[in-house]
Amino acid sequence: MKNLCLFRLNGPQQCPAGDAALSTSSLELKINHSKTATRILCILAFLLVIPSAVLAQGNANMVTQFSGTLKTAQPGVLVITRDDGTEIFVQPPDELPNLAFVAKAKPAFLGRGMLIRFSGVFDGAGNPLSKIEKVEIFQPVPPQQLKGSQRDKFTPGVYGDPHANPQQRVEPQKYDVVGIPMGITPTGILMTQAGKIPVRCPLAENVQFELRLNNLSLAQPGDPVSVSGFYQPSDETKVKAENLTITTDRVYGEPLANENPRNRRASRRNRAADAEEAPAAEADPQAEATE
């Protein structure tokens, strides 16, 4: 018998064939145990990951987009009355260019500390080939609050297609101009100092001046507001804005309807004559202050 193991009185004698069979069985048993342990670990990991994913999904920010009217604006938070009457507390966007107050304006509104931007077609020598249809008026923004290509919209200069090769730049193409307004000639030529480059462009007859500020200095209660952003599912009345735009039908730089310059000059002359006839003590300082 080949697999018969003989024993001696001083101890057992190992059987090579039996040991080989036993080793093979042990190895298979270890492999099966290893596979079973791996399966158990995978199942445990699966059971641990799924609840975490579900929990994370339940706490994820929800996208929202709505319109309404401005109620109040305080540093760091705006209260907006949504179109359905619900009051929403909104945090402004982190990126300042995504916050905008937009209104129509007149050239008379241009003043010190303001910049303008517009687009036009120019030839290789810098001569304008088209009239300007729209001019945006804005205020400077701290450079540290701007990212990437945003800087080109707020830094004085002339910007063309960055991907155009030098040979194409001698041909007519569109440029964006950002600079300080230097005035408008009687013939309708807009003069702009775009960094170190003086630019002269004709304005179209129906040119539009748009005031676009990245702050709330001119916003008033009742102005229309549009918001897109996120909120936690537990409370949709607290929103973190990604984009926020406030508009108004007020026109800046336009004289008031009851403010006729001729009448105003005449009334001032009349008041001056009346002041000469009346005693100085009877002058109404409050009335003069309102002028």
Q: Per-block average pLDDT, block size 10, for the chain (291 residues)?
A: 39 44 49 54 41 44 95 93 96 94 94 92 90 95 85 92 70 92 94 95 96 95 97 93 97 70 47 43 38 37
Element housing 245 (H / E): strand 238-252
Element housing 55 (H / E): helix 16-58
Same domain, 151 and 47: no
Is residue 2 in some structural domain? no
Helix (H, G, I), strand (E, B), or coil: what is residue 15? coil
Same domain, 156 and 244: yes
Q: How many CB atoms lie within 10 A of CB 202?
A: 16
Give the β-pairing of 62-74 and 77-82. antiparallel
Is residue 280 in some structural domain? no
Same domain, 51 and 177: no
Q: Do residues 169 and 125 touch, judged by C-beta distance below 8 A?
A: no
What global pTM score does this model have?
0.66
Same domain, 211 and 77: yes
pLDDT of residue 33: 56
Is residue 19 in some structural domain? yes
pLDDT of residue 92: 96
Is residue 182 in some structural domain? yes
Same domain, 51 and 93: no
The 8-class DSSP code of residue 221 comes to T
Is residue 274 in some structural domain? no
| Residue at which a domain ends, from 24, 39, 58 | 58
Give CA–CA dist 96/77, Å, rounded: 14
pLDDT of residue 125: 85
Residues 6+ apart with CB under 8 A from 222: 69, 70
Q: How many CB atoms lie within 10 A of CB 145?
A: 13
pLDDT of residue 234: 85
Is residue 266 in some structural domain? no
The residue range of the domain holding 33 is 12-58
Same domain, 74 and 50: no
Same domain, 54 and 68: no
Same domain, 196 and 215: yes
- Angle among Cα 241, 247, 249 to the nearest 5 degrees reads 165
Q: Do residues 124 and 236 touch, judged by C-beta distance below 8 A?
A: no
pLDDT of residue 11: 44
Is residue 282 in some structural domain? no
End-to-end, the C-alpha distance of the chain in Å comes to 129
pLDDT of residue 38: 53
* Residue 71 Cα to chain centre, angstroms: 21
Type of residue found at 290: T
Is residue 263 in some structural domain? no
Give CA–CA dist 227/87, Å, rounded: 13
Same domain, 118 and 165: yes
pLDDT of residue 36: 56
pLDDT of residue 61: 85
How distant, in Å, are the alpha carbons of 240, 243, 249 from that of 225? Answer: 14, 11, 12
Same domain, 141 and 82: yes
Same domain, 93 and 143: yes
- State how many domains the chain has: 2
Give CA–CA dist 194/202, Å, rounded: 16
pLDDT of residue 204: 96
Same domain, 103 and 160: yes
Give the β-pairing of 238-252 and 99-105. parallel
Give CA–CA dist 147/141, Å, rounded: 11
| Residue at which a domain ends, from 43, 58, 73 | 58
Q: Do residues 127 and 198 touch, judged by C-beta distance below 8 A?
A: no
